[in-house]
Chain A
């Protein structure tokens, strides 16, 4: 089952999404996609864990050795941005890039869960674009909040796919297109630390709660983003997440 959260006429609705992409309310009413505002598909988003360097080809692209232990960082909830909603490129930078990532959403409280049992604790999967501003990297708690936790730097969705519908996530195609051009291609088979491992690892440190998310890292294929670009991240069996890029001034308007 696929579920999305949308706003129609100032009302937040949870809808199901069928294979043709048709949105239906619980009462069966079909919603015209052209009038909806997409929200993060997780109703009460919790902690957003994200993985750095979790694909060997991406690690070498950034001139790093693949890590021996997961490199985990946290993104703030201010970053969450729905499908079709804009992200912004700060002024005065040289390199902002997308990162198309499979996201596991925790479905029940997890503490010291083994990798063999991990799937039981996952409500479903979605995908995110874990944007980064490379100019702002500093070697302190890297990747630092200024790089990864700016407003709008985590487009997510369009929907949540239940674990039973998606089945095996260990070999899903990952693609990103910028303005229609294919710029990133990989597969979740190349993840260094897979979802069951990460659930075991994180739940061994702390209690995971429903609504917590694990963004599992991105394969090779970085490209700079400019205002006016449209980036579409796609994961096989999950969906496609589209994000228009705005300038800082366009994004913040009178707050600029």
Chain B
């Protein structure tokens, strides 16, 4: 099953899919520049330079502004099994090979108004676990919890019932925008509060199912702080 994920394929992430985050930001989203809440899923791409995997080391950004930091969010990821074009919510799950996990390393989400290229497109910032769990092995999809630990302390638990839009709804609506291909990925939603990171931190996430078993583990670390000169040329391609 593992080989199905296409590291050159699309990785579409769903932002603002945490009900409590949406409630907390509701006033702000009625003001400029947003004016009204989004009527459609809020989506962003993680382009191919961002792709990395289980066990990878996220380079700590070398030239952060003083008030900036590196953050991480964890998300369930739907793995697309076959070409998926304009499918209904009822059909959607049959196009899904299963789920895995991703860590989305980024700068702080300060604004949702413009595409966040600077914050979201850092090299190696989309770590995707290779292991896929078929939906049949997960039990009820409403009973999943993504658990994330920072340096072995549990930092957050994000239950799938906290998601504003379900996996079926998201596969369906995204497939009406773009034809998805086998191996494309949809990161379904992140807890609104992302975890601030320091150099050399360890981040582990796993999926807890309704039967309290755990599936898919994703483990990443953050590099030491490096001088910006070390990130030029070939060094950055490793």
Q: Write the residues of chain A forming the contact surface with B, with a CB cutoff of 8 angstroms.
A: 46-47, 49, 71-74, 76-79, 109, 111-112, 136, 138-146, 149-151, 202, 205-209, 252, 255-256
Assess whether A139 is in contact with B85, with CB atoms less than 8 Å apart. Answer: no
Question: Which of B10, B16, B117, B231 touches A140 (beta carbons < 8 Å)?
Answer: B16
Q: Which residue from chain A places its CB closest to the CB of B118 in the assembled complex?
A: A205
Assess whether B45 is in contact with A76, with CB atoms less than 8 Å apart. Answer: yes
Question: Which of A74, A79, A256 touches B47 (beta carbons < 8 Å)?
Answer: A74
Question: In the assembled complex, which residues on chain A have CB atoms less than 8 Å from the CB atom of B65?
Answer: none
Assess whether A145 is in contact with B112, with CB atoms less than 8 Å apart. Answer: no
Assess whether B115 is in contact with A74, with CB atoms less than 8 Å apart. Answer: yes
Question: Which of B35, B40, B44, B49 touches A47 (beta carbons < 8 Å)?
Answer: B49
Assess whether A255 is in contact with B115, with CB atoms less than 8 Å apart. Answer: no
Question: Which of A71, A78, A136, A206 touches B49 (beta carbons < 8 Å)?
Answer: A206
Known: A138-B40, A151-B178, A252-B86. A206 touches B45 (CB 8 A): no
- Measured between C-beta atoms, what is the minimum distance from B105 to chain A in Å? 12
Question: Which of A111, A139, A146 touches B113 (beta carbons < 8 Å)?
Answer: A139
Assess whether B179 is in contact with A78, with CB atoms less than 8 Å apart. Answer: yes
Q: Which residue from chain B places its CB closest to the CB of A204 in the assembled complex?
A: B63
Say yes or no for B82: interface residue by CB 8 A criterion. no
Q: How large is the interface on B (under 10, 10 to 19, 20 to 34, 35 or more residues)?
A: 35 or more
Question: In the assembled complex, which residues on chain B have CB atoms less than 8 Å from the CB atom of A73?
Answer: 114-115, 117
Say yes or no for B48: interface residue by CB 8 A criterion. yes
Q: Which residue from chain A places its CB closest to the CB of B117 in the assembled complex?
A: A72
Say yes or no for B137: interface residue by CB 8 A criterion. no
Mostly helix, strand, loop or mixed at chain A's interface?
loop
Question: In the assembled complex, which residues on chain B have CB atoms less than 8 Å from the CB atom of A252?
Answer: 85-86
Assess whether B10 is in contact with A141, with CB atoms less than 8 Å apart. Answer: no
Q: Which residue from chain A places its CB closest to the CB of B181 in the assembled complex?
A: A78
Assess whether A140 is in contact with B86, with CB atoms less than 8 Å apart. Answer: no
Say yes or no for B68: interface residue by CB 8 A criterion. no
- Complex: how many Å from CA A61 to CA B67? 36
Say yes or no for B3: interface residue by CB 8 A criterion. no
- Complex: how many Å from CA A17 to CA B126? 39
Question: Which of B114, B231, B232 touches A141 (beta carbons < 8 Å)?
Answer: B114
Question: In the assembled complex, which residues on chain B have CB atoms less than 8 Å from the CB atom of A144?
Answer: 40, 42-43
Assess whether A205 is in contact with B12, with CB atoms less than 8 Å apart. Answer: no
Binary contact readout B83-122 vs A (1 if CB under 8 angstroms, 0 otherwise): 0011000000000000000000000000011111110011
Assess whether B115 is in contact with A139, with CB atoms less than 8 Å apart. Answer: no
- Measured between C-beta atoms, what is the minimum distance from B82 to chain A in Å? 14
- Complex: how many Å from CA A166 to CA B40? 42
- Complex: how many Å from CA A67 to CA B180? 33
Question: In the assembled complex, which residues on chain A have CB atoms less than 8 Å from the CB atom of B181?
Answer: 78
Q: Which of B28-55 contact A (CB under 8 A)?
A: 33-36, 38-40, 42-45, 47-50
- Measured between C-beta atoms, what is the minimum distance from A138 to chain B in Å? 5
Question: In the assembled complex, which residues on chain A have CB atoms less than 8 Å from the CB atom of B118?
Answer: 205
Known: A112-B231, A145-B12. A140 touches B49 (CB 8 A): no
Assess whether B117 is in contact with A205, with CB atoms less than 8 Å apart. Answer: yes
- Complex: how many Å from CA A206 to CA B121? 7
Q: Which of B221-238 contact A (CB under 8 A)?
A: 231-233, 236-237
